[in-house]
Structure 1
Amino acid sequence: MSVLEVKHLTKTFGKFNALYDVNFDVKKGEVFGFIGPNGAGKSTTIRVLLGILKATEGQVKVFGKDAWDEAVDIHKHLAYVPGDVNLWPNLTGGEVIDLFVKLRGGNNNHKREELIKKFDLDPTKKCRTYSKGNRQKVALVAAFSSDADLYVLDEPTSGLDPLMERVFQECVMDVKSQGKSVLLSSHILSEVEKLCDRVGIIRQGQIIESGSLNEMRHLTRTHILVDTKQSITALEEFNGVHDIEETENGLTFQVDTEELDNVIKHVSQFGILKLESAPPTLEDLFMRHYEGNEKQGVTTNG
């Protein structure tokens, strides 16, 4: 069952196509990673599903309801954390958290106190005194204190230190274990890889790849380090072998996953003393999509 469905979503601003024919869904109890470089269309997509922007074409449904027409009903069961949180300067962090939780009709004081402690937040301070990281903590505590069914997190760990990032990851896994759904837009690829069941990569307003990480592994290369009794010959003649280098520890190279079997059979003839392989990472996959023309000035945030 899908909690969020995006079908053929197109959004134009004048002559500019911000989104074109975007399709993806988020299932119940799933963490879906939404990644792409700055300006790719992630935040625009999120604004459409929050009912802030109206789609030019296509359909966005949250809990089976139209994201634009039924936004008020949808927000009763949805928690949202933006990448740059603005708060009321004269309210304390605790007052803001209480306000957000009450707006959703919840009142779980035990959960609120537990999260404030976990995120090491002083809720008695005025929001104007908070750093960017502390403003993010207020939004995260408010979101995870709510009994939402869908958490929409747009660069939620922006400004957090590594320890707090780990606390955030625990919170995501906690809501997932309760059968809740999470849409996570992040530029921290290791975070996405750790948390997400499936991933969608958006580029220039279009989804260019989506699926589970295992389904997408075939698009990337495995890193191999091998040391052999005899020097390996003719390796460069194999299809799918890249970046061969001699190092102190042996020969390193990358190999396309579908060619791995043939290459290992060839290498084994030379008497393997040591063999190390590292699976392809999400970062490898992401960068493969941005090779070539996109190499200059690539960023992965926003």
Structure 2
Amino acid sequence: MSVISLKDVSKNFGKTEALKGVYLELQKGEILGFIGPNGAGKTTTIRIILGILKGAGDSKVFGLDPWKDAIEIHKNLSYVPGDVNLWPNLTGGEVIDLFLKLKKQKNSNYKEELIEKFDFDPRKKCRTYSKGNRQKVALISALAADVDLYIFDEPTSGLDPLMESIFQEEVHRIKREGKSILLSSHILSEVEKLCGSISIIKDGTIIESGPLAELRHLTMSKIKVRTRKPLSDFESNHAVHDFHINEGLTEFSVDGKNLGEIISLISKYDILTLETQPPTLEELFMSHYERTIQ
């Protein structure tokens, strides 16, 4: 059974179609990257998963209806939004304790470890905190809880690079524990480091979904090669793009599905050095995004 399962989920705000038949699956022990441009429908989808909004279609979390069974679902779920609002007169430590108490969590030892890792002062009033420190309150509260599902919506917003790396370490930790994670982020390098699968949403529709390794085959890899014999006729090959030679180094891009064929052809020219670079997530995202603009 999927931890999260959305099938043909739609949501309208008046005459505006925010979601148009969204399909989304998160399996146990998986980290799913949920990406798309601003206004694509990411946050609306997450709010339906959390039971904050009611959408048309079939929505399930732990096999339960998030609208009808939100209280039960939230006992086993931690959520971090991208813009955290806190009680101004409580200290950060009091807010963390409150969130953990609501989930009946007693892992105070790990809470203290997280406070130290994130270099956070829990004694100050929340009204004095910067955006980054408010974000740390939400992250520590979520990561200190022993639950089966973690939902992060732009979780590192306002954090410096060191704190981002600590967050990434914590995500790897909960993944090793067999937990499930839905990560929505505009930082594609972060998604690329953490996620095994991605779903790309645009204009309220999932335009691509699947394991990142498989999706990379749908776009081009970059090749840098030095050969003893000149690479003749390669520029005219249908699978080769952006071909050029600079001081004996030949560079070009090749369609993922033709990569094996091209490597085999190159081997006939006595390879001296060969470097292949798979497409980055940003390149993959842009190729799919631009393809749907046509």
Question: Which band: TM-score by shorter chain?
Answer: over 0.9
In structure 2, give the amino acid aligned to 1:264: I
Residue 32 of structure 1: SS of its match in structure 2? strand
Q: Match of 1:29?
A: 29
Q: Counterpart of 2:212?
A: 213
Structure 2 CA distance for partners of 1:263 and 1:50, relative to 1, 3 Å: same
Deviation at 1:42, TM superposition (A): 0.4
Identical counterparts, % of pairs = 60
Q: What per-residue deviation string (whole Å, max 9, x for no partner) do you get for residues 64-108 of structure 1?
A: 110111111111111110001111122111011011111111122
Counterpart of 1:278? 277
Match of 2:129 in 1: 130
**Map of 2:74 onto structure 1:** 75
Q: Deviations over 1:112-137 (max 9, x none)?
A: 10110111101111112211111111
Contact 1:239 1:259 in 2 (8 A): no
In the alignment, the residues of structure 2 paired with residue 178 and residue 218 of structure 1 have an alpha-carbon distance, to the nearest angstrom, of 30
Q: Distance in 2 between matches of 1:30 and 1:160?
A: 24
Question: CA contact under 8 A between 1:26 and 1:181: conserved in structure 2?
Answer: yes
For 2:138, the equivalent position in structure 1 comes to: 139
Of 132-141 and 174-183, more deviation after overlay is shown by 174-183
2: distance between equivalents of 1:126 and 1:248? 61
AA paired with 2:43? S
Quote the Cα distance in structure 2 between the aligned partners of 1:125 and 1:245. 59
User: Cα distance, 1:161 vs. partner?
Assistant: 1.3
SS at match of 1:95: helix
The match for 2:227 is 228
Residue pair 1:238, 1:263 contacting (<8 A) in 2 also: no
Tell me the distance in 2 between the aligned counterparts of 1:31 and 1:212: 10
Secondary structure of 1:193's aligned partner? helix
Contact 2:218/2:257, CA 8 A, preserved across alignment: no
The two structures, once aligned, show a CA RMSD in angstroms of: 1.6
> What is the CA distance between 1:249 and its match in structure 2?
5.9
Q: Which residue of 1 aligns with 2:7?
A: 7
The equivalent of 2:46 in structure 1 is 46
Note the residue ranges of structure 2 that are not aligned, 5 or more in a row. none
**Correspondence for 1:190:** 189
CA distance in 2 between partners of 1:132 and 1:240 (Å): 48
Structure 1: any 5+ residue segments left out of the alignment?
A: 296-302
Q: Given that residues 31 and 197 in structure 1 are in contact (C-alpha distance below 8 angstroms), is that contact kept between their aligned partners in structure 2?
A: yes
- Look up the match of 1:16: 16
Classify 1:248/1:133 alpha carbon distance in 2 versus 1 (closer, same or farther; 3 Å).
Answer: farther
Length, aligned pairs only: 294
Tell me the equivalent position of 1:299.
Answer: none
Q: Structure 1 residues 262 and 180, CA, compared in 2 at 3 Å: closer, same or farther? A: closer
Over 3 Å counting, the alpha-carbon distance change for 1:279 and 1:292 in structure 2 is: closer
1:292, distance to aligned residue in structure 2 (A): 5.8
How many Å apart are 1:294 and its aligned residue?
4.8
User: What corresponds to 2:112 in structure 1?
Assistant: 113
**Paired position in structure 2 for 1:162:** 161
- Distance (Å, rounded) in 1 between the aligned partners of 2:128 and 2:35: 32
1:7-29 deviations in Å (ceiling 9; x for gaps): 11011112211111111111111
Report if aligned partners of 2:222, 2:252 keep a CA contact under 8 Å in 1. yes
Q: Any idea what SS the aligned residue of 1:2 has?
A: coil
Deviations 1:12-70 (A, max 9, x none): 11221111111111111111111111111100000111111110x20111111101111
The secondary structure found in structure 1 opposite 2:183 is strand
- TM-score, scaled to structure 2: 0.95
Structure 1 length-normalised TM:
0.93
Between 68-77 and 237-246, the greater mean CA deviation after superposition: 237-246
- Given residue 36 of structure 2, which amino acid in structure 1 is its aligned partner? G
